[in-house]
Structure 1
């Protein structure tokens, strides 16, 4: 596997691709929760995985190197002693969990997982009340806010749209855009990719042309890498003009590593 990025166009022969294989994150959602987690339909996991594997095999048969996001994140977390703790802090900060007892319970559940690959899958898959070790409502004041919660209610929402792996980021030249996604639920996917470019031995130090912590939204579907010097970006509901302006500043004047001039 070659190290680093060197993507001068999205047009032409595909050499390497990052996928996410559907897992528990895709099915740990009930119909009435679709809007909360930004998904539109039920899936049969075995069928989805079978179709995904056929797609991945087809890519390999054409000479494409297939990488899996969840494996890259696990390798990144294993590569640096502080990586997992730092990632967990970021992940929990963006989880949307405001109750400190629930936040602590989710942390403890994740911290108990020794295998980094399983840790990533669990973080993406989400948790319900029944999955966690929680104090009785009567024993803690903070848990009184959740006294009406049912065992099947979500605490940590899953990330069922993660298989759309082109949305959270875009590769441009030797660097990458980490997008500030329009939907808050989908923006939670970006720290997984951030960990890859921060800690992974093959990708650490990759220039970040756009930081997803910026206040303006931008998404991968509006970004087209045309050639080594030209990038096309559309303004839409999910991509703001201010984000494009910020990106242009970074590409044109922010780094000598950028070849983009149009």
Structure 2
């Protein structure tokens, strides 16, 4: 008798019930040989690499994190009972007792107000492992394609390594990737037994060979203010300065991008804001 793979069976069954139109996707060309979403489509919606999602379906990965499960539940449009069932299957597959997923850290109301006050400048609040805890509309539009990820899955490091558009968006992707991993390595060194950091590193190492290679370099660095160039597919190329303000609350930090008024880079930021005003981007749900 073969090994049971109830989690993979459930994921395949729910994936087969959804078509591209159900989740706001334009059907890709070519004959669809199976019903429902393709694996790569669902992986993209859930903020996962295709390889990691395939391993989940095939039962070769049996310990998905709470963040991964939240992304899958959102992408599969699960209701409350189906979501609970997904968690139960995942806990059974991992051989662990059912436990409550920790709540995302709260962002203070005055910090959320600051995100709105600095508009139209893109701004967001990150948690310890770079989860996007709050973001203004321009900040969400800033990262091409991130708006399609469910809110619990939005993470700037995961975006760097897993989103197919990231290498085009960051003009110097190698530098940005090395910096992101070095920041995470610094956090890990400060508290090697932190569960949130360990869980995130495990997930990223499994999903991204590029992340795994950089993690083994043991570089350390803190995220500081600086300048970076981006290629936005609609707003255009922009070189922006950014300020990182550390908040005295559970390791949270706020990042704000800006450019000199009257410059071409500032014009690109205004085009980004126009994309929001014309309704090309939906609500952030953050």
Which category of TM-score, normalised to the shorter sequence, fits these structures?
under 0.3
Task: Give the TM-score taking structure 1 as reference length.
Answer: 0.27
- Which structure carries more relative contact order (alpha carbon 8 Å, separation 6+)? 1
Relative to its length, the structure with more helix (as a share) is 2
